[in-house]
Amino acid sequence: MGRIEKQVSEGTTKYYWYPGDKREWKRAAVSVGIGLGAFLIVYVMTRDLLPAVVGGTSVTAGVSGLNFGRRDARAITTFPSLTGRAARLAAVAQTGRAAWRGLVHGFGGAAAAVLILNLPHTGVIADWILPVVPAVVGALAHQAGMLLEQLPQAKPAATAVPAGEGAK
């Protein structure tokens, strides 16, 4: 949970609470900025809103999914054991953060689908396939982010020697 402090007077300070860290909000802003850049590039190239919106929202969903996946992988490794009251409270806090990330990720995919469906195009591809592209890209990027976060910790597998060759 983040906090902004504002000094109102000499003895009074107002605190504004927001979900997440400032670092996570910066990453979200970067992913939206990259998505807007992709939107502008595709729109300038095609002069059509449908591919530009699909491309921009897909890039945003991909970068956000990668960030969410990395964050979820880090959260899993720090998940406390459930022995003791303090550990259970920490687990509830971790679960709340994961639920917040899931809510934001799900809302982003749904908002992209609604945005794409409301564009002035018709047809099976525009109405049924393209609206789900950003959500699929975001979900795949989430899995990739989780894998990328775990790769440095992975140990190389020992090479097995076939039974007949080990005795020589």
- The answer to whether residue 165 sits within a structural domain is no
Distance CA 168, CA 161 (A): 11
- What was the pLDDT predicted at 76? 79
Please count the structural domains in the chain: 1
Looking at the chain, the number of H-run helices and the number of E-run strands are: 6, 2
Distance CA 83, CA 163 (A): 44
- What was the pLDDT predicted at 164? 60
Distance CA 94, CA 42 (A): 39
- The answer to whether residue 4 sits within a structural domain is no
- The answer to whether residue 64 sits within a structural domain is yes
Distance CA 157, CA 50 (A): 46
Per-residue model confidence as pLDDT tens for the chain (168 residues): 566 778 888 888 887 766 667 788 889 899 999 999 999 999 999 999 999 999 999 999 999 999 999 988 888 777 666 667 766 666 666 777 778 778 888 999 999 999 999 999 989 999 999 999 999 999 999 999 999 998 877 666 656 556 665 555
- The answer to whether residue 11 sits within a structural domain is no
- The answer to whether residue 85 sits within a structural domain is yes
Distance CA 58, CA 131 (A): 10
- The answer to whether residue 163 sits within a structural domain is no
Name which of 16, 22, 20 is nearest 8 in CA terms: 16
Which range of residues forms the domain containing residue 129? 21-149
* Tokens 């300038």, residue located: 44
Name which of 29, 68, 53 is nearest 133 in CA terms: 53
Distance CA 55, CA 43 (A): 9
- The answer to whether residue 168 sits within a structural domain is no
Distance CA 112, CA 55 (A): 11
